[in-house]
Amino acid sequence: MRFICPLIVVNNIEISRSFYEQVLNQKVQYDFGENVSFESGFAIHLKSHFSDLINKSENDIIQKSNNFELYFEEEDLDSFLQKLKDIDPVEYVHVLKEQSWRQRVIRFYDPDMHIVEVGEPMESVAKRFLSKGLSIEETAKRTLMPEEFVRQCL
C-alpha cells in the first residue's frame, strides 16, 4: 500500500486554490474541477462533491475543528509575514511566536478554517544561532536538534 496525500474539503475551489497559489506559492499539479492536487503533495476537494462521495450531508463536514494542520516552511519568514499582513482578512490561530526549540512559527486559518502553519526551516534556526557565535553543542542544546544535524548546517 502507498500513501498518496492528505485531502482537505473546501467550500469554494476557486477561492481555496487562489489562496494556496497566491499566499503560499503552491503550484497545481492536477486540476480535476472539484479536486485540485498541488505539487507539494496535498489536495483540495469541493465540499458539495466530497459529501456525495462519502454519502453524508454537507452539514456533517465540520469547519474549524482545530485537529489538523498543513505545515509549510519558509526561508524568508519575515517577508512572508509582511505578505500575510497585506491579505484581508486572515484569522490567526496565533501571531508569530518562538517554539521551545527556537523555531519561529505562525499559525492562521485558510478560507475554510483549516489551520496553516508556516515556520522557518530548522536549518535556518541552527544557522541563526551558529552565526551568533554559539557552538555546535550549544546550538544543538537550544534547538533540540542532534549535533550531527547542526554540523551539517555549517
**CATH number for position 29:** 3.10.180.10
Rounded (5°) CA angle 81-82-83:
90
pTM: 0.92
Query: Which candidate, 42, 74, 39, 63, places its Cα nearest to that of 112?
Result: 63
Digit-coded pLDDT (tens) for 39-73: 999 999 999 999 999 999 999 999 999 999 999 99
The verdict on residue 131 lying in a domain is no
Domain that holds residue 31: 1-57
The verdict on residue 119 lying in a domain is no
Digit-coded pLDDT (tens) for 59-117: 999 999 999 999 999 999 999 999 999 887 899 999 999 999 999 999 999 999 999 99
